[in-house]
Structure 1
Amino acid sequence: MKKKIISGITALALLTGGVVGVGSFESPVEAAQATLKFKDVPTTHWAAAAINSAVEQGYFKGYTDGTFKPSSPVTKAEMASILGRLTEQPNASSSASNNFTDVPEWAKGGVSAAIQKGFINPASYKGKLDAKAALKRGEMAVWLTQGLATVDSDYKQALSDVKNTVIPAKEYFTGKLAASEKNAVAVAMGTGLMSVYSDKMFGSDRTTTRAEVAVLIARYTSVAKTKPTDFKGLNELRQVGLTGTNLSLITNYFKKTPEGKILLPANRKYDEVVTDDFSKVRNKEIVTDTNYADLKVSNWIIIDTSVANKERSIYYPVFVDEGVKLQSGKYFSFVEFNLSIKSNSMSQLQAGGLLNSATFNPLVSPRSKVFSLYGAPKTGDYIKDRVFAVKNPVYWAEGLLHFKESTARPVTLETTEGEVFSVSYTP
């Protein structure tokens, strides 16, 4: 009888992950040996160090056959149990109770702890966690960033600030990123907690593996000890979310165009209409040089190709191929346009004539190889025989922002309501 009871416990451990992860009960000596080497985790494995560390800290256990199974998925119940054991994670100021009806007995304490520590919000579910299902990366991002918001209220503010940001992941550009996960994905990427795969997908619907969780736990503990403002990428995502541009984070050369150096609408005063706040003209109808189409600018991304890798814009991998460098005195300018074509047809060349600006140029989209991998909408998606085949194209276009005194001129956008955004190069 005793042998049968032990076998039953072992079976439960294998099915549910034992105390925390998936594995069997082992002696302390066996556990210590497992942290040094698993048959399926060679020293060259990309997550070997994180796996060994996670095992040493008790978040995971290996199998009795000497394997770790790094590619096996992690269930929600298992992940909740792991998060619930993060000792440095503070409790939420007000946490809900564990009212889930589908959590297995072995995981109830872990799920309750994860809720108490702010990782899981029961209000986001309808009484069921789907605890035995594999945890997907989108939901993982939500859990981890909710945890960060519990650690520091500025992370909570960051989750709000990125609501309207541009996320450097393919799902964002193709419209397949769930609204309920968008903010969390942005913060997870901005802090370096999570990133895209080689196919440029964040992989919201992909399951999370044991190896990935081992790495994420190590990253989370590091990020949780860091102020949100210390992450350049997150700062950039927040600014684009709030204003529509990253201009002031990429360069401090551009200030509001001085009075007397800009032509204003009739009977309007400089102090009343001129601004260097891009949010004032974002998504508003812009005055064009021609009457071919109504035009709005949703986002304006600046990239400096002269800086070192660690100083690059978080958007660099989306728009610019590795190794590309502009001539001194120029930045890349990438603009998301929203057009409403008035005539029966408008050519691509006529689109380029809507604005007399090298910086805001609706003529062509980025021609980099990497841009095509992200699946972002471009002029070619709407052009047939050099004419727009749709009435309301939304796409990204490429221009240049000059910051040499000999070539720079004010960058100006005027809304049909009379507001004027204008910045000039200031050495």
Structure 2
Amino acid sequence: MKKMMISGVTALALLTGGIAGFGGVGSSVEAAQATTKFKDVPATHWASAAINSAVEQGYFKGYADGTFKPSSPVTKAEMASILGRLSDQPNATTQEQNNFTDIPEWAKSGVSTAIAKGFINPSNYKGKLDAQGALQRGEMATWLTQGLTVVDPEYKQALSDVTNTVVPAKEYFTGKLASAQKNAVAVALGTGLMSVANDKTFGVDRTTTRAEVAVLIARYAAVAKTKPADFQGLNELRAVGLTGTNLNIIAPSYKKTPEKKVNPNIEYDSVTEDFSKIRNKNLVTLTNYSDLKIHNWIVVSPYAVGAKRSIYYPVFVDEGVITTLRGAYHSFVEFELNIKSSSMNQLQAGSLLNSSAVDPLLSPKTKTSASFGIPTNIEYLRNKGFFTVKDPVFWGDGLLHFDKALISAITLTTKEGVTFSVIDDK
């Protein structure tokens, strides 16, 4: 994709059209000069480089008082006008009409073009865009990811694939991420288009600022020219959404257990390496204290760096802290119990399965997992380790081994007779 630019004619139109929240858009000469004059954008500002670049390219200019106002909110009409002028964004195959009744005159053309380019879907609204309202991050994620589906249909598939995924944002784990925005947030995070804040929240209800827009313009251009399959994080989110686990991406050497290594009492025709076949199903347990289901299984290598690092690393693992033994990976499993006995304790929960990787005995105890609000079994335990509820849902903390002396098959069987069994075949 070529660098996305807006023309001088467009810049003049914006400047005279009243997009006050953006301070207008000037010529490249004015822009270059403005980069050194923003009193409120020091070199140490987190978005200074992106702001300077956006100004140099003609997206913005500063205000008459020498400021950029990086923290000022951006309205929906303003952002739609900017998105509508991304020249390298193709038009959507199916064109929808601009039927909004609350668009100011200066923004009507820009909003119509943003719709034509696939960023805004009028059918998601009820005739009004709330054009003068501040654009929130959740809606921004929706607009940008919808735009990506026009650039590459595989992004549309990705948006579908992540429907049931584990989203690496605090709102997901605390149950505050609306299903209507979940998929867009997941794809935005999986591509690196957007990220969580220091408090680990995505901030779907936070307003989008001028500084963020400057950053997002550059990021969108980069993501749009990248194939979805080239983002490991997005691949993990899609895999978890479709199957319940990222095992095949993070630990691909774990394959279907050979017949000779499977318990002879198990009919091998029933064995699968497809985790989706046992996901959310009641499993056969060693003890009868509780029924047990697994919703998701996340594997994280503590040794991977850069682009190879799991998107779930910062969710579960403290930076630079390796607590695994003999080359093991972290194994985090989301369990759902249906406790049968009048009382069941933590040790009895641990006796339900015999696997170091899939173990409901302990939950993550890292600083980062706590900051993300990961549900743990501790929340449901009272004195002496007894569960206080009959149907807890929590994450367990285990180990996926690669040491030949410790490796054994991970075998889980549903009460319907389907067996998932994998082992490291290196």
TM (norm. structure 2) is 0.93
In structure 2, give the amino acid aligned to 1:105: E
Can you list the C-alpha shifts for 1:61-120, whole angstroms capped at 9, x where unaligned?
211111110000000000000100100000000120100001111111110010000000
Deviation at 1:255, TM superposition (A): 1.2
Deviation at 1:24, TM superposition (A): 5.4
* Distance in structure 2 (CA, Å) of the matches to 1:359 and 1:44: 44
Deviation at 1:25, TM superposition (A): 7.9
* Distance in structure 2 (CA, Å) of the matches to 1:374 and 1:147: 29
* Distance in structure 2 (CA, Å) of the matches to 1:296 and 1:264: 24
- Secondary structure of the residue that 1:388 maps to in structure 2? coil
* Distance in structure 2 (CA, Å) of the matches to 1:299 and 1:250: 15
Q: Is the 8 A contact 2:137 2:207 kept in 1?
A: yes
Can you list the C-alpha shifts for 1:334-387, whole angstroms capped at 9, x where unaligned?
000011111111111110111111111101101111110001111011111111
Distance verdict in 2 for CA 1:370–1:26, change over 3 Å? closer
In structure 2, give the amino acid aligned to 1:347: N
* Structure 1 residues 142-291: aligned runs within 5 Å: 142-263=142-263, 269-271=267-269, 273-291=270-288
Q: Is the 8 A contact 2:164 2:242 kept in 1?
A: yes
Q: Structure 2: where are the runs of 5+ without partners? A: 1-13
Corresponding residue for 2:71? 71
Corresponding residue for 2:412? 413
* Distance in structure 2 (CA, Å) of the matches to 1:317 and 1:27: 41
* Structure 1 residues 41-190: aligned runs within 5 Å: 41-190=41-190
* Distance in structure 2 (CA, Å) of the matches to 1:70 and 1:23: 11
Q: Is the 8 A contact 1:274 1:421 kept in 2?
A: yes
Distance verdict in 2 for CA 1:56–1:381, change over 3 Å? same
- Secondary structure of the residue that 1:171 maps to in structure 2? helix
- Secondary structure of the residue that 2:375 maps to in structure 1? coil
Q: Is the 8 A contact 1:339 1:393 kept in 2?
A: yes
Corresponding residue for 1:3? none
Deviation at 1:308, TM superposition (A): 2.1
* Distance in structure 2 (CA, Å) of the matches to 1:31 and 1:369: 44
Corresponding residue for 1:337? 335
Deviation at 1:31, TM superposition (A): 4.4
Is 1:399 the counterpart of 2:401? The answer is no
Corresponding residue for 2:3? none
* Distance in structure 2 (CA, Å) of the matches to 1:25 and 1:277: 53
* Distance in structure 2 (CA, Å) of the matches to 1:28 and 1:258: 64
Corresponding residue for 1:353? 351
Corresponding residue for 1:328? 326
Q: Is the 8 A contact 1:24 1:64 kept in 2?
A: no
Q: Is the 8 A contact 1:15 1:22 kept in 2?
A: no
> After the TM superposition, which of the residue ranges 319-328 and 374-383 deviates more from structure 2?
319-328
Q: Is the 8 A contact 2:356 2:399 kept in 1?
A: yes
> After the TM superposition, which of the residue ranges 216-225 and 397-406 deviates more from structure 2?
397-406
* Distance in structure 2 (CA, Å) of the matches to 1:26 and 1:411: 62
> After the TM superposition, which of the residue ranges 152-161 and 48-57 deviates more from structure 2?
48-57
Q: Is the 8 A contact 1:288 1:355 kept in 2?
A: yes
Corresponding residue for 1:17? 19
**Aligned residues: CA RMSD:** 1.8
- Secondary structure of the residue that 1:96 maps to in structure 2? coil
Corresponding residue for 1:6? none
Q: Is the 8 A contact 2:27 2:58 kept in 1?
A: no
In structure 1, give the amino acid aligned to 2:179: A
Q: Is the 8 A contact 1:358 1:401 kept in 2?
A: yes
Corresponding residue for 1:366? 364
TM (norm. structure 1) is 0.93
Q: Is the 8 A contact 1:115 1:121 kept in 2?
A: yes
> After the TM superposition, which of the residue ranges 324-333 and 121-130 deviates more from structure 2?
324-333
- Secondary structure of the residue that 2:260 maps to in structure 1? coil
* Distance in structure 2 (CA, Å) of the matches to 1:87 and 1:390: 56
Q: Is the 8 A contact 1:13 1:22 kept in 2?
A: no
Distance verdict in 2 for CA 1:29–1:242, change over 3 Å? closer
In structure 1, give the amino acid aligned to 2:251: T
Corresponding residue for 2:5? none
Is 1:315 the counterpart of 2:312? The answer is yes
Corresponding residue for 2:7? none
Distance verdict in 2 for CA 1:25–1:215, change over 3 Å? closer
Corresponding residue for 1:4? none
Corresponding residue for 1:37? 37
Corresponding residue for 1:7? none
Q: Is the 8 A contact 2:169 2:201 kept in 1?
A: yes
- Secondary structure of the residue that 1:221 maps to in structure 2? helix
* Distance in structure 1 (CA, Å) of the matches to 2:234 and 2:170: 18
Deviation at 1:28, TM superposition (A): 7.2
Q: Is the 8 A contact 2:26 2:60 kept in 1?
A: no
Q: Structure 1: where are the runs of 5+ without partners? A: 1-11
